[in-house]
């Protein structure tokens, strides 16, 4: 007998898939069962397991396999069809829509065979070595970088005003889009505050509310700097600012820092050889070393800025806490040539996570900074800004600053005495005139990375010093914040530190 061999195209059929393990129903979930089934099938289609024109199991078989009611499966299939994933063919069944693009199923062995992780798309990773900030929101004993004690801030008063505004009929308007420069009332309050405390007279239209002073650094850098430009910064400097400037393609010119701040004479010699676009200054309590820029050098920087036509980015985030005497006037207050872009912070001295800072400068510059800010962050929290404005207007912020200044001075003195008594041979420091941290230089034989790890195992977080280092600055030191610790917490922290050093 002759046999005719007819080739059969054997397809990967839906019935062959292990649906019992592929579809796991969660009866405790708030998501309806039919939606769960629908979502599982969408996942199988999009990852290529179920190709176009593939038949789905019958409602009866699937219901038995995964242990649900047949009507629930019917609802899931109807949902798949309504969303455009499947089509129902009369007397045949439900099929994956034939017109869907064919998706190749991912092979888990591909990456293993190559030996490296394959990127899904092409991009430039400029932050592969970035170390993300520490999360201080978890309750933990910590010697931080120099943050305010949020337990002292009038948070209840701020929230009271926030709730009050939101309940009033006009408060609803603050939920709409507003002025990208920020709340008019807060800008007005800040202009009065800067005039009273710093002799800085600012027009309300030249004031931009930012998400902290860091946003002001970013906006300034983007407007001032281009690929190949030079910006002068300290040999020791706020590392985040350095990174912001590098991201523009600018080159950093390192200027020495001594006990009187950045060396203006050194900068003058540099200016005779190179053109710079800007100088970044932290005049009060320089980060990380806490030194204050002398008045003589402030005047010299202004003179050089006028002569060589560069901008001064004055980051005065830490103006409000000065203990020995009244702080010097900001450069912006004595700038008569509009060379200074002045940055400050409300929340760096109040509560860091609330993120309210400010930026002032020439009118056209602030206008452009506002336009740029709109591209990355349309506006801030207007209701929160309005609440802060009320605290300023009611005198609450001034009362808080006076109270906090007194407490922080006491804490500075206690903390420095503890360091002197317990670590006279291990830590070198100077009592800071202001600010919320002590720049502490450790004995070269002490490995700060290992010390930080040992401290953490004993219940104390402290920095390991890497954040402050750069290509020219490698001092074995850290900023030791005292403001956020009360006397009991200081004693406990010092006790742990003494144990792990010993």
Q: What is the CATH number of the domain that holds 494?
A: 3.90.1150.10
Q: How distant is the alpha carbon of residue 385 from its chain centre?
A: 19
Cβ distance 148 to 484 under 8 Å?
yes
Tokens 């200074």: give the residue: 340
348 shares a domain with 276: yes
Tokens of 333: 């207050």
Residue 111 lies in a domain: no
Query: Is the pLDDT assigned to residue 16 strictly greater than 50?
Result: yes
Same-domain pairing of 420 and 373: no
Predicted pLDDT of residue 326: 80
Q: How confident is the model at residue 107 (pLDDT cuts 50, 70, 90)?
A: low
Q: Tokens 């006009």 correspond to what residue?
A: 170
Q: Are residues 463 and 439 in the same domain?
A: yes
Same domain for 405 and 390: no
Assess whether 246 and 389 both reside in one domain: yes
List alpha helices for 106-181, DSSP H: 110-114, 155-167
Beta bridge partners of 440: 429, 478
Average of pLDDT values for 80-98?
92
Is 412 found in the same domain as 382? no
187: Cβ–Cβ under 8 A, 6 or more apart, which residues? 181, 204, 207, 209, 358
What tokens appear for 42 in the block?
């969408």
Final residue of a structural domain among 395, 426, 455: 395
Same domain, 160 and 295: yes
Tell me which residue range forms the domain holding 413.
141-147+399-501
Let me know if residue 121 belongs to a domain: no
Distance (Å, whole) CA 473 – CA 483: 26
Whether residue 319 is found in the same domain as residue 428: no
Kindly state the average pLDDT of the residues 173-196.
90
Q: What is the pLDDT of residue 140?
A: 83
The tokens of 428 are what?
Answer: 């070198």
Q: Residue 426 contacts by C-beta under 8 Å, 6 or more apart in sequence?
A: 442, 443, 446, 501
Q: Please tell me the predicted confidence (pLDDT) of residue 244.
A: 95
Residue-wise pLDDT tens digits, 301-329? 999 999 999 999 999 988 888 887 788 89
In a domain, 128, yes or no: no
Q: Is the dihedral of CA 412, 260, 240, 374 positive or negative?
A: positive
What percentage of the chain carries pLDDT values higher than 90? 75
Q: Is residue 105 part of a domain?
A: no
Of the pLDDT bands very low, low, confident and very high (cuts 50, 70, 90), residue 431 is: very high
The arithmetic mean of pLDDT across residues 213-224, rounded, is 95
Count of Cβ atoms closer than 10 Å to residue 296 Cβ: 11
User: Do 231 and 345 sit in the same domain of this protein?
Assistant: yes
In this model, does residue 377 exceed pLDDT 90?
A: no
In this prediction, residues 11-26 reach a mean pLDDT of 75
How many domains is the chain partitioned into structurally? 3
Q: Are 318 and 348 within 8 A, CB to CB?
A: yes
Q: What per-residue confidence (pLDDT) applies to 132?
A: 73
Distance CA 233, CA 287 (A): 11
- Residues written for the chain: 502
pLDDT at 127: 79
- 363, 395, 427: which is the final residue of a domain? 395
Which residue matches tokens 């020439």?
A: 362
109 falls within a domain: no
Residue listed under structure tokens 């000065």 = 322
* Cβ atoms within 10 Å of 336's Cβ, excluding its own: 7
Give me the helix-helix angle, 382-393 and 155-167, nearest 10°.
120
> pLDDT band at residue 12, thresholds of 50, 70 and 90?
very low
Q: Count of alpha carbons within 13 Å of 448, Cβ hemisphere only?
A: 22
The tokens for 33 are 């069962």
Instruction: Please tell me whether residues 262 and 359 are part of one structural domain.
Output: yes
Question: What pLDDT does 118 receive?
Answer: 67
Asked if pLDDT for residue 221 goes beyond 70, the answer is yes
Residue 116 belongs to some domain of the structure: no
Please give the average per-residue pLDDT across 286-299, as a whole number: 94
State the pLDDT at residue 388.
Answer: 93
Residue 55 phi, psi (nearest 5): -85, 135
CB atoms within 10 A of CB 83: 11
pLDDT over 60 at 251, yes or no: yes
Rounded distance between C-alpha atoms, residue 454 and residue 448, angstroms: 10
Mean pLDDT of the 471-488 span: 95
Kindly state whether residue 74 falls inside one of the protein's structural domains: yes
The answer, yes or no, to whether residue 457 has pLDDT greater than 90, is yes
Integer Cα distance of 134 and 466 in angstroms: 13
Q: Which two tokens stand for residue 113?
A: 């065979």
Boundary residue ending a domain (374, 395, 416): 395
Which of 384, 400, 353, 396 has its CA nearest to residue 209?
A: 384
Residues 351 and 411 occupy one common structural domain: no
**Do 297 and 373 share a domain, yes or no?**
yes
What is the domain-level CATH number for residue 19? 1.10.10.10
CA distances from 486 to 133, 151, 349, 404 (A): 24, 10, 17, 12
pLDDT band for position 115 (50/70/90)?
A: low
CA-nearest of 181, 164, 204 to 383 is 164
Tell whether 88 is covered by a domain. Answer: yes
pTM recorded for the entire structure? 0.83
β-pairing, 207-210 vs 357-360, is antiparallel
User: What is the C-alpha to C-alpha distance for residues 85 and 52, in angstroms, rounded to an integer?
Assistant: 9
Contact call for residues 182 and 208 (beta carbons, < 8 A): yes
Which CATH number goes with the domain that contains 386?
A: 3.40.640.10
Work out the angle between the directed axes of helices 487-501 and 448-457 (0-180°, nearest 10). 120
| Residue 176: partners with Cβ closer than 8 Å, 6 or more residues away | none
Beta bridge partners of 495: none
């Amino acid at each position: 007998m002759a046999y005719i061999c007819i080739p059969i195209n054997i397809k990967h059929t839906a019935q062959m898939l292990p649906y019992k393990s592929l579809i796991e129903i969660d009866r405790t979930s708030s998501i309806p069962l039919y939606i769960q089934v629908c979502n599982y099938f969408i996942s199988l289609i999009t990852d290529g397991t179920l190709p176009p024109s593939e038949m789905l199991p019958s409602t009866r078989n699937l219901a038995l396999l995964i242990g649900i009611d047949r009507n629930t499966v019917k609802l899931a299939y109807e949902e798949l069809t309504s969303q455009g994933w499947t089509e129902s063919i009369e007397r045949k069944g439900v099929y994956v829509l034939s017109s869907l693009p064919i998706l190749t199923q991912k092979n888990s062995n591909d990456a293993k065979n190559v030996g490296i992780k394959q990127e899904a798309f092409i991009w430039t990773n400029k932050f592969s070595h970035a170390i993300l900030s520490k999360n201080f929101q978890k309750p933990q004993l910590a010697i931080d970088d120099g943050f305010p004690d949020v337990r002292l801030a009038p948070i209840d008063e701020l929230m009271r005003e926030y709730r009050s505004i939101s309940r009033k009929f006009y408060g609803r308007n603050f939920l709409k889009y507003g002025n990208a420069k920020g709340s008019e009332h807060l800008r007005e309050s800040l202009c009065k505050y800067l005039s009273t405390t710093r002799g800085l007279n600012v027009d309300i239209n030249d004031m931009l509310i930012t998400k902290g002073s860091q946003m002001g650094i970013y906006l300034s850098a983007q407007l001032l700097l281009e690929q190949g430009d030079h910006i002068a910064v300290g040999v020791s400097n706020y590392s985040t600012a350095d990174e912001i400037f590098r991201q523009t393609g600018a080159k950093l010119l390192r200027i020495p820092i001594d006990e009187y701040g950045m060396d203006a004479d050194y900068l003058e010699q540099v200016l005779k050889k190179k053109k710079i676009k800007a100088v970044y200054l932290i005049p009060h309590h320089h980060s990380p070393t806490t030194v204050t820029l002398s008045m003589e050098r402030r005047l010299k920087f202004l003179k050089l800025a006028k002569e060589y036509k560069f901008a001064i980015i004055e980051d005065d985030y830490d103006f409000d806490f000065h203990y020995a005497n009244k702080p010097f006037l900001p450069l912006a207050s004595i700038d008569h040539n509009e060379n200074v872009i002045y940055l400050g912070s409300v929340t760096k001295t109040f509560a860091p996570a609330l993120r309210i800072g400010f930026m002032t400068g020439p009118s056209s510059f602030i206008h452009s900074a506002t336009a740029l800010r709109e591209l990355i962050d349309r506006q801030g929290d207007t209701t929160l800004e309005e609440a802060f404005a009320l605290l300023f207007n009611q005198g609450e912020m001034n009362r808080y600053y006076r109270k906090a200044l007194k407490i922080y001075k006491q804490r500075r003195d206690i903390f420095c005495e503890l360091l002197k008594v317990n670590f006279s041979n291990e830590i070198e420091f100077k009592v800071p005139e202001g600010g919320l941290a002590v720049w502490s230089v450790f004995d070269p034989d002490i490995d700060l990375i290992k010390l930080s790890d040992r401290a953490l195992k004993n219940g104390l977080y402290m920095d390991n010093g890497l954040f402050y280092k750069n290509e020219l600055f490698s001092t074995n030191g850290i900023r030791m914040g005292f403001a956020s610790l009360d006397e009991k917490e200081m004693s406990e922290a010092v006790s742990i530190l003494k144990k792990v050093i010993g």
